[in-house]
Amino acid sequence: MSGFERYNKILNLFSEQRNSLTVAEISQELKVPASTVYRIVREMVLAEFIESAAGSYFRLGQAFIKFNRIINLSDPLIQAGEPFLKKLANENPIPSTNILARLFGNKVMCVADFKHSTFKNNTSYQKGRLMPLLYGATSRAIIMQITEKRLNNILNLEGLNNDLQKEIFIKGLDQDKKKGFCKTEAQVDIGLIGFALSISNKKLGIEASLSSIFNISDFRPEHEPSIYANLSSYALLIERYINKIFIDTEAYHNNYLNKD
């Protein structure tokens, strides 16, 4: 264990379920002596990436709140997409939650969400939460973009090493690719149905998706056309906006450089 990995491993011990840890626990998890962990933790406390809680426990620190704000203000996907989620929710024919998600390692992370006030259920998708890559329309609209090789790696990692299963999964994905959208029922949350479209920008390395999630009980087949119409028009809008941000940023950088 060396370099940044050492720090990252400690941070990744913290989770929604286990949000505070003692040095003894960290030491045990990482199989590193307590004296070493104390030194490392102290460094991170100084930088406010960790803070001490009651009873010799430690928590994640406030620095994350600070950096999270900067990301929200600078991430092109969030900047371009978040403002449209509310509009999308308002135009959908039935109550919905609407989500922007992107690839995060071999998981999918929601980076923006808007739940319409009339949508009473809760989805598992929440900003910052990691979700499985192989289930749900939100995720499918993302993996349909990645290369075959990478997909294969991920399928192996996720335990889909049975060749037949793999083939079936890839075939289904290819069909979705041709159609240009994804639709899944109850793959992530029971009682919910999801529709998703890809959002991408090669230059910015964005592999994302825009999705609308509904209660199955609200949903009727006749809703589908307007759901697709909404999703596809907003997906296009967001892609264009991302591109605009890209152009603007480039211009800004050029301008900045010329001023030297």
Partner DNA sequence: ATAATATTATCATTATATGATAAATTGTTA
Partner DNA sequence: TAACAATTTATCATATAATGATAATATTAT
Binding site for a second copy (CB under 8 A): 3-5, 7-8, 11, 14-16, 19-20, 40, 43-44, 46-49, 51-55, 57, 59-62, 64-76, 102, 104-105, 109, 111, 126-130, 203-205, 246, 249-250, 253
Nearest CB to a second copy, comparing residues 164 and 257 = 257
Q: Is 119 helix (H, G, I), strand (E, B) or coil?
A: coil
- Cβ at position 64, least distance to DNA in Å: 21
What string of H, E and C letters represents the secondary structure of 221-259? HHHHHHHHHHHHHHHHHHHHHHHHHHHHHHHHHHHHHHC
Residue from 3, 117, 159, 259 in contact with DNA (CB under 7 A): 3
7 binds, among DNA, a second copy, none (CB under 5 to 8 A by kind): a second copy
Residues 6-45 that bind DNA (CB under 7 A): 6, 22-24, 32-36, 38-40, 42
Q: How far is the CB of 42 from a second copy (least distance, A)?
A: 9
Which amino acid is present at 214?
Answer: F
> What's the min distance (Å) between Cβ of 146 and DNA?
17
- The DSSP 8-state label assigned to residue 32 in this structure reads -
Q: Is 252 in the site for DNA (CB under 7 A)?
A: no
Q: Order the strands of the 107-115 sheet from edge to edge.
A: 130-132, 107-115, 96-104, 206-215, 192-201, 182-185
CB under 8 Å to 3, separation ≥6 — which residues? none
Residue 23 contact partner, candidates DNA, a second copy, none, CB within 5 to 8 A by sort of partner: DNA
Least spacing, CB of residue 52 vs a second copy, in Å: 7
Structure tokens at 245: 């941000």
Rule CB under 7 A: say whether 251 interacts with DNA.
no
First to last CA, the chain: 41
Residue 102 · residue 109 · CB < 8 Å: yes
| Residue 60 interface partner, choices DNA, a second copy, none, CB cut-off 5-8 Å depending on type | a second copy
CB 150 within 8 A of CB 106: no
Using CB under 7 A, list all residues that contact DNA: 1-3, 6, 22-24, 32-36, 38-40, 42, 52, 55-56
